A and B are shown apart, each in its own frame.
Chain A
């Protein structure tokens, strides 16, 4: 094992059996990738708490609207397809990063961030619409749980967009170094994780909300 790593230091090893992608060529970077996996497991627990709260409170609508009259099916289908597509484009940026192709990585990261921005703007529009018809966070337990769960996800996506753009700037200045390849890999891990969380929001919050 050590031989493979030493052999690989700083260079992606491309030949068949001994292939080691760039982000794993330095021990420090592969440890950071493992550390990020551990962060994701904790973030998963955070979202589990918010999902549990939402599921328990979703029928407690008080004098406010219920989910069926509130949610717009076309709107959440759009959000879902935008985020699924952005997860794919993020995966392509990892593909180009592993080929050490800086421009390809940057272009696909920017496409991913742009799709993320489109998603966040749709979500903000959705929230503002709810607030304009009097369905605010204070209206009912259902809406408190809804805005907290979906808003926490939206905040994560917003942070991801800023993070991606900062990595794009670093790549443009330094090219694809082992440290930057690790950053590209990790930001995409984060992004794919958020896509999984959204799939559950789509299923538990929106789909179960409009099916009766």
Chain B
């Protein structure tokens, strides 16, 4: 069973994440945790000093964390972006596409199911922040739009 899943080259950040409020307040922490409903853009002035952003999913159906992740990656955040909480195997692909690169689900995931999920779809329709080439660009290799 998988309790922690990482797609990063480097070691996972061990520092405990602090709340957005205490992070932006005064702390010199480099790890922060965003709750659903908190504005990821509050972190944009601090991206350089951050090494970990944890995004909490209180329930798998609460999709606000996907926007939070993409906003951070679109702004150039390169550090660890970790999905925590009610993270199920069926959401891994979408989360990867939105820029998450580590996962600490409340309930450990089945290794084989993770493997199957990650390899299921060879093609994607959208350009996001994960660098995968969307189908529309594959159709016209000479005109890849970014």
Q: Are chains A and B native binding partners rather than an unrelated pairing?
A: no
Binding site for A on B (CB under 8 A): none
Residues of A within 8 A of B (CB): none
